[in-house]
Structures are given as C-alpha cells and as structure tokens.
Structure 1
Amino acid sequence: MSKLANDTRVFKINPEIDVQNVRFENRYGFILAGHLYLPKNIENGKKYAAIAISGPFGAVKEQSSGLYAQTLAERGFVTLAFDQSTTGESSGDRRNVGSSDIFVEDFSAAVDFLGAQKFVEREEIGALGICGLGSHVLTAASIDVRIKAVATCVMYDMSESMWDGLNHSKTEEERNKEKQYLAEMRWEEVDKGKQIGGYHELPFDENDNPVLGNKLLPMKLPENADPVTADFYNYYIKHAYHPRSINSAMIWDATTPWSYYNFPLQQNIEKITAPKLIVTGEKAHSRYMAEEAYERLTDPKELIVVPGATHCDLYDQMDKIPFDKFEEFFKENLK
C-alpha cells in the first residue's frame, strides 16, 4: 500500500485506499502536482474508469478535491486530485496567479496523465470541478471530447463573479475603477520589482473604491461577518485549514482578474456533447450560477439541488454530498 510522505490531508483518511504523489506537465510547461487514488484490490491487466478532480478555486488537493477523489476511489474509480498551475505544490515561479485559459488546460493535462496509465481505459475518463473549478471543467469539456462525462459541485463562474459581481451586483463605474486598479497594480509591480497580492473578487469600500488586502480570510471571524464569509471561514480556517491553500493562508496575485476579464469562461458550454451532472446546494450563495449554467447546457444533463446545503457544506459534509449520485452518474456514463 502506497502512503504519502508528509501527509497533510485535512480530511479523514481511508488507509485502505492506495494514494500516490504524482507530477505531470501541461502544454504550457507547468508541472502539476497531484494525488492519484486507486481502487481497493486493483487487478493487474484490468483497465478502470478514471476521474480528474480539482477545486475549489484557491484550495489544494489536500482539501475538498482529495476527499472527493478518495471517496470515488472507494467506489471503484481511479481518481486524480490536483493543484492548479501556480498554486499548492504545482509549479510556477510567479505564485497564485489565476488564469481562465491555463486552469482549463490543467484539466486536459490531467486527462493526458490519466490516459497514459496502463490501468486506465482512455475512453472512460470523466472530470469533476468543485466551486470555481466547476466553471473551468465545463469550459474544458466544451472542447476536450476525451472527457466522456463531466460533473460540477457548487459550480461558481469565476469570470462572472469577477466581472459582473455576485448576484450581478457590479456597476459599470466599479468595473472602470477596477480596470484602473489593475493598471496601478501592474505599475506597482514594475516599480517595486516584486509580485503584489490582492483580492480576485474585488470588494469596494463605502466610498465605492477598491479595497486592498494581503489575505483572503481573517484568522478570527468578525462578529458582523456576513453568512457567506462565515461559510468560507468555517471551512478554510476553522476545520480544513491548510498552509498551502490560498483561501486558508494567502491571497491571489492582484492581477488575477486580468485573465478572466479578457478570456471569459463557459463561452461554448452549449456545445458539450458529454453527459452533464450539475450539483448545488439549496442555500448555496452560488446556486444561481449553477442553475444559469444548467439552463444553457444541452441534454443529456441533470441538476441536483441538495436540500438545506450551503456552498461550503458540499466541500466536505459527507451526509450532504450526494456521492451515491456522483457514483451512479460516472458508472452509467463511463463504460
């Protein structure tokens, strides 16, 4: 049984599931870090269905994606949880830079890696994106027909949230201010000769000016925190903290919105021919994003709204994540 050296996973580990540290390259030359999970009693000479898994946006493979990968490996799949380029243990001299194009490519690179394994059936590879990586995985599946089944959980459209604001709340004046802010951040980097951190979803103060920051979440939750901040805090700080997770311990590169403004996600999701499963929570603040994406998708597709679940409940709450449905979906469509 292979064990991870310096295992820092933040969920309950199943010692019966073989997990291995792996590395693979995307077409831009980034080296991606992953955890490859294998089903119990894997048979020599047999080829298995496989699933590439990543997310949430700003998380690492030791958090939610690893839990999903382990659980689906328990149910008979080869699974790969991986860190996005420039984040976690993946490469990139410049750290924590979000990119709509590169992060979509990372899913296809994960398919490359899985399809190169002698125990994986190339025609039975699926993909699953959690939170913000849900919008990236749908984008990947719109072009990469090697993804034979695609699923999302609490899908979050990162381009929309950055450009349009949560619940379509951002004004044109705020967008213009944000573009000016991004220009200033780039000049600041030129003048200081170093990378600048900042919010990927830019908040505005009471005077409607951009807010600067050096950490996404506080170590102590303010008494007046809104429910969404509290939901993220409870996961990333309170019970699933990981020092390599941007959401737990750091902040994105300040220029991250640049890519998502220029190259929006989900432009061609109507073209996805593979079966689609969209899962969200009844009380998730992101629910409308999942439902809007679902409306654009063509058949075959299915939408599951988990009763009573918030956005972050579906990161790791085993009594709420519909793993039976994920198992049924992938077994039905990866064969």
Structure 2
Amino acid sequence: MKFKKKLLLAGLVLTMGIGTSGMAAPVNANPYGLVYQGAIMQNVAGQVNIHPVHYNLNGLKIAANVYTPAGYDVNKKYPVIVVAHPNGGVKEQVAGLYAQRLAQLGYITIAADAAYQGASEGEPRHTDKPYYRTEDIHGMADFISTYPGVDKDRMGVLGICGGGGYTLNAAKSDKRFKAVATLSMFNSGEVRRNGYMNSQLDSIGERMKQASDARDKEVTTGEVSISGNVDFDALTDESISKIPTDLYREGMIYYGRTHRHPNSTFAYTTSSLMELMSWDATDQIELIDQPLLLMAGSKADSLYMSKEAFDKATGTKDKELFLVDGATHIQTYYVPEYVDQFVNKLKEFYGKHL
C-alpha cells in the first residue's frame, strides 16, 4: 500500500484516539487552549487551577502549565508530578488531561511543551532529539522544584507515549524522581531505527544516509528537511481506514480531528534521525532503581515496547506492568473508562511511594 509505505518511511510517531467519545471542544473555546474532555475553563477559588508559566532551559523559553490542587495553599507542602507529552503532542492534550486528573488527587503537576516544539522556543522548529527531550524532563523538575508549595523530596514523573521513553531515559540519572511511571510507552529510537513493529529492518542504512545527507544540506545551504508531515485537512475517512495499525489509524483521528491543536504536529527535522536512530530508551535501563510502573492497553499494538522495557529494567526491585483490558494505544489518552483505571492505578502507585 503506497500510503502505508509513505507513513512508515516517514517514521511517524503518532499517538492515537478513535471515534467521537470524549470529543474535545474547538481549541478557541477554551481560554487555555486545552482540548481534552473536562478541561478547566476558568480558575475557580478552592478548585483545581491551571497556571501558564514560562522558564528558561538551556537558553530557550519553555512554555508550560502548572496545575494546583483544590484548596492549594502556598504555605503547605504538596507532592509533585512531572508529566511528559507524546511525540507530536503538546501540553494541552493528553499530558494536560493526566496532569489535571493528578492535581485532583492532591498533587501539584507540570506539563511543558518540548523545546523546539509547541509554544516553546527553539530553532530549527521540530527538532526532535533524545538529548533535548530528556533535558525537557530534567528542566520541568528544575522549575517545579522551586514552585511555591512543592515538596521536592516527593517528586514523581509520568511519561506518555514518546514522553514515556524519554522519561525512562531521564530517570536513569535523575534521582529526584522517587517514582517513575509511563503510559503507552513508545521507544522513539527503536521505532525510528527499526520501523514500527520492526517493519523497516531492511532499510536502516539507507535511512541513516538520508538523515546525514539532510544534516549536510542544513550546514551547506541552510535548508531544513522535514519528515513526518501530515496534512490533516487532506485526510479522508477512506484513507484513514486503510492504515493497518491501530496506533497510526487512531492517531490520525485523535490528533487530526477529535483532539486537534494548532501547535501539535508530527513533523520533525530529518537530521534528527541521526541521533534518534542511534539511541534506545532501554539502553542502560538497569540504572533505574526507583519504583517503576509501566502502563498500557492490552490491545495496544505498541505494547511490545513496554514489555521490552519491563524485562530489561533489572535495576529496580519494585516494578509492575499494568494493563487495562481492551484499550488500544490511543484510547488510553482519552476514553473515560480507560483513563479512570489508569488514574486509579497512579493514585495507588504515587500514594505508596510519594
């Protein structure tokens, strides 16, 4: 199938959600740009509130949202959770949903746009390199650790999809995180290198050459090559239905229709593949000695990545692979019955360790 080949060769890291259940309101209907069901429309005293913030990370201005729990008092101390968004996603989508739900449980939470992406600074736009994405997580921890009311000794982290892979990488060395959780973990290095579900093993060298050629073009001409572009307006129901994997098919619907956000894009610089294809989220994963929770849907075709990470995470004595029956990858982002189960598990996990 021509469309399938194009999608796989682009190495798209899509994160999906299907159908209209939980369909978000138009972006401009929410003053904070939030596009998930039940999003905060206004800050009300005594309830969970949202606080848009900016901070500097390696010379770049990062855009983030901080959520504070009901009855928030700067003179009290609260546990805190850092939330990392999926590849292609922004803080106003699933990362914001889980950040808000955790704030409802009494945590201060933060979700930031990755550097070079979303509303955060960085040129060339759409640069997507593991070092930067890992630094984004360290940077959220840096900022939130000094936020009023935060007990930095009770800090956890939650990474979703691609943010989950980078969260594993960050937790290897960042022991400020006392509890590490992922949802629908996506190992970006493995997928960019091998293709989704190992579908591109025969073209690794060719694609590495394309990536290095793209970097050479950037240096010699200033022209930045982009991979992963998707014209959501051009997608038809028929073309979406022909996508063979749940992740990519449902992702087109989630990101392109039901939870669309103007800052959300699957584009990335082709030269980023030089770093991505030579990186893996599970390299030295045994350095994670904190409690580890890997969560996924039982029907997710991306589940193999969480299982690989779980098996390799031999450095922690407290690890669990938690599956919600019937959920696909993208459905873990928004379907209420699935989200509720994952939030309840996080309540148990963070409650025990933070």
Question: TM over 0.5, yes or no?
Answer: yes
Equivalent pairs, count:
312
Counterpart of 1:285? 301
Between stretches 6-15 and 299-308, larger displacement belongs to 6-15
What does residue 103 of structure 1 align with?
A: 133
- Could you say what the CA RMSD is over the residues aligned between the two structures, in angstroms? 1.9
What do the CA deviations read for 1:220-275 (whole angstroms, capped 9, x no partner)?
3404222432211121112000110013xxx2112221111344333221121211
Provide, for residues 33-54 of structure 1, a one-character-per-residue CA deviation record: whole Å limited to 9, x for no partner: 1000000111241110000101
- The answer for the alignment partner of 1:236 in structure 2 is 255
Query: What does residue 8 of structure 1 align with?
Result: 33
Structure 1 contact 216–246 (Cα < 8 Å) conserved: no
> Structure 1-normalised TM-score?
0.88
Map 1:37-186 onto structure 2 (within 5 A): 37-171=67-201, 173-186=202-215
SS at match of 2:178: coil
The question of 1:265 aligning with 2:281 is answered yes
Distance in 1 between the 2:142 and 2:243 partners?
Answer: 42
- Contact kept in structure 2, 1:127 and 1:151, CA below 8 Å: yes
Q: Distance in 1 between matches of 2:174 and 2:32?
A: 32
Q: Offset at 1:190?
A: 4.6
Which residue type is aligned with residue 278 of structure 1? L
Letter aligned with residue 224 of structure 2: Q
Is the contact made by 1:284 and 1:310 (CA closer than 8 Å) also made in structure 2? yes
Q: Separation in 1 of the partners of 2:302 and 2:317?
A: 22
Distance change in 2, residues 1:164/1:78 (3 Å): same
In the alignment, does 2:49 pair up with 1:18? Answer: yes
Q: Which secondary structure does the structure 2 equivalent of 1:319 belong to? A: helix
1:195 deviation in Å?
1.8
For residues 146-205 of structure 1, the C-alpha deviation after alignment (integer angstroms, 9 at most, x for no partner) is 11111000001001111122223322x401111221233234445653322113xxxxxx
Q: Which of 216, 223, 232 in structure 2 is aligned with 1:194?
A: 223
TM normalised by structure 2 equals: 0.83
Does the CA-based 8 Å contact 2:208-2:277 persist in structure 1? Answer: no
Moved more, 186-195 or 15-24: 186-195
- Match of residue 215, structure 1, among 214, 230, 234: 230
Q: Describe the shift of the 1:283–1:277 C-alpha distance in structure 2 as closer, same or farther (beyond 3 A).
A: same
Q: Which has the higher helix share?
A: 2
Relative to structure 1, the CA distance from residue 46 to residue 225 in structure 2 (aligned partners, 3 Å threshold; closer, same or farther) is: same
Structure 2 Cα separation of the partners of residues 269 and 227 of structure 1: 28
**One-letter code aligned to 1:159:** G
| 8 Å CA contact 2:193, 2:278 repeated in 1 | no
Q: Which residue of structure 2 lines up, in the alignment, with residue 323 of structure 1? A: 343
> Contact 1:277–1:301 at 8 Å: present in 2 too?
yes
Structure 1: which amino acid aligns with 2:301? H
Higher relative contact order (CA 8 A, sep 6+): 2
Whole-Å Cα distance in 1 between the matches of residues 161 and 271 of structure 2? 21
Larger mean CA deviation between 74-83 and 41-50 belongs to 41-50
- Superimposed CA distance per residue, residues 1-30 of structure 1 (whole angstroms, 9 cap, x where no aligned partner): xxx99421101224532101111222x322
Share of identical aligned residues, percent? 30
Is the alpha carbon distance of 1:174 and 1:227 closer, same or farther for their aligned partners in structure 2, counting shifts above 3 Å? closer
Q: Which moved more, 1:145-154 or 1:183-192?
A: 183-192
1:303 aligns to 2:321 (yes or no): yes
Between the aligned partners of 2:217 and 2:259, the Cα distance in structure 1 is 34
After superposition, give the CA deviation of every residue in 1:44-86 in whole Å (9 maximum; x if it has no partner): 4111000010111110001010001011101110000111110
Q: Which residues of structure 2 form unaligned runs of 5+?
A: 1-28
From the superposition, tell whether residues 152 and 309 of structure 1 become closer, same or farther in structure 2 (CA, over 3 Å). Answer: same
